[in-house]
């Protein structure tokens, strides 16, 4: 999580006014940690107001600070898994030889038919077709590696 500029100033202030955090306010605390923090409540700003903070043990604090963005990223990575290369797929299938894991086949089928892959393919085909319509001079002008015109303007 990105810490705001006044992060340490506010924490200093809260410690000097209210002392060190010494207990966990999470009613479901599993008592996994013996050290405690002043934790900013979600949706609150770093301000000199003790009501914006609560005391949590390290363990609960870590869970609590999982930001919305982290949650969204997690969700996104589940919704749009990266396409897996043939090599990786081979490795994975070798490693689970003899195991029954019936959903994996469907999983790979689903990610390889992702519409964005199709769109990307189409885009490249269109570009290739457009280039093929150009004269050699135009091609050099637009896509040539040794494009003098671009070199001069850069």
- Using the minimum distance from each CB to Zn ion, give the nearer residue, 29 or 104: 29
H-helix or E-strand containing 120? helix 115-133
CA pair distance 42, 65, nearest whole angstrom: 8
Q: Which is nearer to Zn ion, 21 or 26 (CB)?
A: 26
Nearer to Zn ion, 65 or 141 (CB): 65
State the nearest-atom distance from the C-beta of 53 to Zn ion, in Å.
Answer: 15
Distance CA 58, CA 70 (A): 18
Q: At which residue do the structure tokens 């609150």 appear?
A: 44
Q: Which of 70, 6, 69 is nearest to 40 (CA)?
A: 6
Between 62 and 89, name the residue whose CB sits nearer to Zn ion: 62
**Which is closer to Zn ion, CB of 13 or CB of 64?**
64
Task: Report, in Å, the least distance between residue 59 CB and Zn ion.
Answer: 5
Alpha helices in 19-147 (DSSP H): 58-64, 68-79, 86-95, 103-112, 115-133, 136-143
Closest distance of CB 65 from Zn ion, Å:
13
Residue 67 CB, nearest distance to Zn ion (Å)? 19
Helix (H, G, I), strand (E, B) or coil at 37: strand
CB 52 within 8 A of CB 44: yes
Supply angle C-alpha 64, 68, 69, rounded to 5. 125
Cβ 15 to Zn ion shortest distance, Å: 19
**Residues forming the site for Zn ion (CB under 5 A):** 24, 26, 29, 57, 60
């Amino acid at each position: 999580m990105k810490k705001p500029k006044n992060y340490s100033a506010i924490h200093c202030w809260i410690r000097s006014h209210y002392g060190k955090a010494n207990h966990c306010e999470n009613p479901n605390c599993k008592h996994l940690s013996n050290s405690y923090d002043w934790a900013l409540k979600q949706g609150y700003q770093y301000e000199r107001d003790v009501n914006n903070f609560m005391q949590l043990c390290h363990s609960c604090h870590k869970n609590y600070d999982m930001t919305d963005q982290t949650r969204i990223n997690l969700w996104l990575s589940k919704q749009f898994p990266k396409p897996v290369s043939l090599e990786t797929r081979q490795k994975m299938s070798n490693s689970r030889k003899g195991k029954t894991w019936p959903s994996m086949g469907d999983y790979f089928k689903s990610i390889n038919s992702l519409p964005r892959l199709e769109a990307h393919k189409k885009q490249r085909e269109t570009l290739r077709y457009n280039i093929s319509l150009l004269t050699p001079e135009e091609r050099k002008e637009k896509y040539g590696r040794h494009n003098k015109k671009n070199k001069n303007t850069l």
